[in-house]
Amino acid sequence: MACMTMPMLHIGELSRRTGRSVHTIRWYEQQKLVPGVRRDDAGRRIYREQHVMWLDLLDRLRKSGMSIRQMREYAVLVKRGDSTLAQRREMLIEHRRRVDAQMAELAASREVVDRKIEFYGEWIQTGVRPPGY
């Protein structure tokens, strides 16, 4: 995952760069979600720039509804290397389908909320309860 010529980051710097707590980063590691973490001679974790992007990806996957189990499966595929590129792509395509379905549901919900806002706006403006909702 990391090129050895890239600058090293320790967990505090990774935390500052990603906006995630040290506790969260360690939890992700315990869940086997962060591939390519090395340790220096003092036993401290060493991260690379890719870990900054990786944690952003994990955050986006989680916020968009991917389960920890699925994220773990994805991380395992990443650790296996280039032979899993097609599987990783397919997994993300399937996730995007779920995200698209969620977005459609949210859009439909927003339309109902917008109608209710208009309903109340008309009622407030006219002083008369409009028909409908």
pLDDT in tens, 61-115: 999 999 999 999 999 999 999 999 999 999 999 999 999 999 999 999 999 999 9
pTM of the model: 0.81
pLDDT in tens, 101-113: 999 999 999 999 9
Tell me how far apart the alpha carbons of residues 107 and 109 are, in angstroms, rounded to a whole number.
Answer: 5
CB atoms within 10 A of CB 3: 8
Q: What CATH number should be reported for the domain whose range is 1-80?
A: 1.10.1660.10
**Hey, where are the domains in the chain?**
1-80, 85-133
Tell me how far apart the alpha carbons of residues 36 and 32 are, in angstroms, rounded to a whole number.
Answer: 10
Q: Which amino acid is at 110?
A: R
